[in-house]
Amino acid sequence: MLIRLPERSSGFKNSMKRLAAKKTARKPRADAQRNRERILEVAKQVFTKRGAEASMDEIAKRATIGPGTLYRHFPTRDDLLAAVYISEVEKLGEAQRRLSAELPPVEALRAWLLVFIDYIAAKKIIAPALNAMAGGPSRVFQQSSRVMEEAAHTLASRAVASGDLRPDVDPMDMLRAIYGVSSAGSTEDWPEKARRFVEILIQGSRP
């Protein structure tokens, strides 16, 4: 005997359509995020090699996307330059949260200062392109300085609270000192010198 199932209501059908639409919409968002990350990484490499006037078409080709996709994310070259730099700064914030969760306070601070050295190295690569931006790089630096300051102060505060650092330690002095090493070092081995200097800073800040 054939049993005829009742027809589904229009409300149910509409709900299923909306659910299908949501599932379909998730993929472009995930793809868009992956595209953006790939663009930023490729752009960093191309700007390093070619300078600020690097071809946007070359960046799109190396990122294996169409020019239209690139321009949807970054309408101008200046937008892309700024985004590359800001993405490097955001890595500092991400590292602060991860290290705070995984390591004891003073060890988290030490590890983050090493990440900061990597950031400086990246900035040295990107800086010539940033300096060629319309209006200069000041607006980009202003937007990103807050991330660095908050990360450094959060880590140092935890280390002070745990008794690993003196209360009078200013984490910004640490950053300025490391940056000074990178500026004074004209040789390619300045990162190694800066990493050794991190241990000196930590030990000199002990109670």
**Residues near 125 by Cβ (< 8 Å), separated by ≥ 6?**
44, 47, 48
Give the count of beta carbons closer than 10 Å to the beta carbon of residue 40: 20
Q: What residue type is assigned to position 140 of the chain?
A: V
DSSP string covering 63-79:
TTS-HHHHHHH-SSHHH
pLDDT, one tens digit per residue, over 7-48 is 444 443 444 444 345 444 444 577 778 888 899 989 988 887
Q: Are 181 and 194 in contact (CB under 8 A)?
A: yes
Q: Are 28 and 49 in contact (CB under 8 A)?
A: no
pLDDT, one tens digit per residue, over 45-103 is 888 778 778 889 999 999 998 899 899 999 988 888 888 888 888 889 999 999 999 99
Nearest CA among 37, 41, 34 for reference residue 125? 41
Domains of the chain: residue spans and CATH: 24-75 (1.10.10.60), 87-207 (1.10.357.10)
Rounded to two decimals, the pTM is: 0.71
- What angle do helix axes 77-102 and 105-131 make, rounded to 10 degrees? 170
